[in-house]
A and B are shown apart, each in its own frame.
Chain A
Amino acid sequence: MSQESILSLGGFRYLKWSLILAIGSIVAYVVDEPRTVPNGGTWLGYTLGIIGALLILWLILFGMRKRAYRSNLGSVRGWLSAHIWLGLSLLVVATLHTGFQFGINIHTLAYTLMVLVILSGIWGVSVYMRNPALMSGLVAGKSLQQHGDLLKELDAESRNIAKSLGEDVQRLVEASASGHILNGLFGRFGGPGRCPTDIAVAALHQMGLQGDKVIRDLYAVQVKRQTQLQRMRGFLKLKAWTDIWLIFHVPISIGLLAVLVAHIVSVLFYYNGNVLYDGHGLIYSRG
């Protein structure tokens, strides 16, 4: 199990499903001879549309399965693997459903939202494949609060050392201790600002050049604090980037659900319905 990633689960079982669906759709699209041009309203267009809509509903259901901890309906890992691969095949199914007809309308809006959700999903997969290993390397098996405790211990030690030093040094230490781990929303995603600890380290480095041992001890503690902070920040930034994609992935998929409903209702509201009704063999026979 541990050798299998989410993608390769079950010997790439869901990749195979996904390929079957995608290649099957492409073959059907190539073979199909619609009366006019390929579009969502032909027999194949309706079929791909229904498959696509059911896929979208099922993909959204993953959000519920993920939270249904008592469910025995397959493992969450299995669901996730299927969610990823079949979600990718949706790109093929839905694109062929459009018959490559795009415009400024809710139909193309639904398609665009779907593409955005899938793209954010690809981003999410890459983030989830890469970041957790880096993150656990950074925190080395300890919780973030334990890392915080280490900061507090370093602060206590710094204050202790600073007692024998001047007021300006004490002010540096206090500023360093009261600085934020991350600076606001933007700090969470990058932006390496110069924090009070950085300032303290730089200042103590200058002072330590004159050879004062106590200053140099304090400098060593502050450098430790700086390293510790950088480690925590690295972790938190990775975590932020790992989390943020869900802000896109989930709400856009819910928006997609709404527009999809509008899309389906609108095509039925003003529908033509040739495929469903007319023909007497007209649609299918080839003489």
Chain B
Amino acid sequence: MTVLTPVGPMTVPRMAPHMRLRFDKARQTWTVQAPERTFLLDDIAHAIISRCDGHMSVAGIVDDLCATFGNAPRDLIERDVLALLQDFTDKAVVTA
């Protein structure tokens, strides 16, 4: 059994099967619905989580974000993506 799952550029993340990405109309925000838990996503978190499709690697996600949001430097984006995905992996929202 995998114990700690470190997230790196080659990791291919996807949403855990029991997590649901949903837009909440009342709050006008994207959310992840989990058992007895709701994560409210800001725009950056949504941009990252919505790309966790089980096909794209973390490096690919960073490239895609760079192409979409051209202003920020790549290493800054990569740092944010790795930090967020590590956090969500530890919380079992995302699996590698």
Query: Do A and B come together as binding partners?
Result: no
Tell me the A residues contacting B by CB distance below 8 Å. Answer: none
